[in-house]
Structure 1
């Protein structure tokens, strides 16, 4: 893990073995990543990644283990896509003027055996403490392919209390307590249109364990127009996930029939991104 921190803001641990995703996220001396308090889906890559604060699903991911058309060997699209577990090639890092910055390329092989690349840029503003992630997903194969992306921001539920809430204009009533829905855990996915400068915003807090700060997440809404939120407090799990995503939460075949695939021709790319701060 590579430590990534600026003059202000959280102290992050970036995982060179898996996309430069975020393992630990230390705020006020507390690492809010869920660690082992997450369900194991049987995939070692995912079990490793989901313990961290942020990991990336895609580019062949669409949240369902749907069969791959034309295959007779029973191979299915992986629940979390093929990106996790691919090592990052760090191009450069900078720690200047109180800011922190990192550029890396990740070459990926999808479940169908096709190449893709994520060009990743991390920037932490030392004056505001806000962390910015910008990704360019490039189809480096010789075929036109549908492309999906989802960011999982996972926080250990043990850090929340009765005063911690989810708030955002995309939520019913503008927000509700973090223990929404059914006992032990629940999940929802809603449209999350831009409300300011092309960004949607969701907040989680205040979190007393980190000095009453609130996690504020801002998302590029044009390519990540939906927000999924899930929680699981069924022991030993204790986690809440904030998950901006490119597509509705329906089977892959239903998206295709509705004309909602986003396809990239060979050499084409698509940009995704978000930022987060503890305010």
Structure 2
């Protein structure tokens, strides 16, 4: 893990063994990641990633374990795609004038055996404490392929209290308590239209455990036009996820039939971005 922090904002641990995703996220001395209070995914890559604050799904698949068309060996698309567990090549890490910056490349092989690359840039603004992530997914294969992406931003449920709410223009009524859905969990996915900034915004808070701070997440609405939110309080799990995503919550086949695949020709790329801050 690489410690990543600026003059202001959270202290992050970036996991160079898995996509430069975020492990610990320390806010006012408290690591708000869920750690082991997570459900068992049955995939060691995902169990490792899920206990951190942010992990990345895709770029070959998201959400559903589905058979791979044309395969006779029973192979399936993994639930969270193929990127987790791929090592990052760190190109530079800079700490200048109170700001922080980390640039890395992640070369991966999809479940179909095709190469892809994620060019990743993390920054923290030392004046505001806001963290920014910019990703470019590049099709380095010799085939035209669809590309998907989903970010899971995971917070341990033990840090919430009775006043903690989800709020955003895309949410019914503008927001509701974090304990939405059934007693032990719930999930929904909604369109997340942009504001004037070109980003959609959702907030989670306040959280007494971190001095009443609220997590504000902004996602680039042109390439991350949906927001999924998931929580699980079953058994030993105690977690809530804010999940910007490229596609609706339907099957891969339904997306393809509706013409909603984002296709990349060899050498083409697609860019994604989000920011978060603790206000």
TM-score by length of structure 1 reads 0.99
Cα separation, 2, equivalents of 1:115 and 1:196: 36
Task: Name the SS of the counterpart of 1:119 in structure 2.
Answer: strand
Matched, 1:37 2:37: yes
Where do 1:1-279 residues align within 5 Å?
1-279=1-279
- 4+ residue runs over 2 A deviation: none
Distance, in Å, in 1 between the alignment partners of 2:166 and 2:116 is 34
Distance 1:196 1:63 in 2: 30
CA deviation profile, 1:9-62 (whole Å, cap 9, x unmatched): 000000000010000000000000000000111100000000000000000122
- SS of the residue corresponding to residue 101 of structure 1 reads strand
SS of 2:119 mapped into structure 1: strand
**Pairwise CA distance, 1:66:** 1.1
CA drift of 1:75 comes to: 0.5
Supply the distance in 2 between the matched residues of 1:271 and 1:94 (Cα, whole angstroms).
22
Distance 1:231 1:92 in 2: 35
Distance 2:274 2:210 in 1: 22
| SS of residue in 2 equivalent to 1:6 | coil
Helix, strand or coil for the counterpart of 1:197? coil
CA distance in 1, matches of 2:197, 2:99: 23
| Cα deviation digits, residues 221-259 of structure 1 (max 9, x gap) | 000000000000112000000000000000000000000
Provide the C-alpha distance between the structure 2 equivalents of 1:171 and 1:141, rounded to a whole number of angstroms: 38
- The CA distance in 1 between the partners of 2:207 and 2:194, in whole Å, is 25
CA deviation string 1:206-231 (max 9, x = no partner): 00000000000000000000000000
Supply the distance in 2 between the matched residues of 1:41 and 1:131 (Cα, whole angstroms).
28
Q: What secondary structure is seen at the aligned counterpart in 1 of 2:253?
A: helix
The SS at the match of 2:76 is coil
Give the Cα separation in 2 of the matches to 1:256 and 1:12: 37
Aligned positions, number? 279
Q: In structure 1, how many angstroms separate the alpha carbons of the residues matched to 2:231 and 2:114?
A: 33
> Which stretches in structure 2 are left out of the alignment for 5+ residues?
none
Q: Report the secondary structure of 2:173's partner residue.
A: helix
CA RMSD, aligned part only? Answer: 0.4
1:269 is displaced (CA, Å) by 0.1
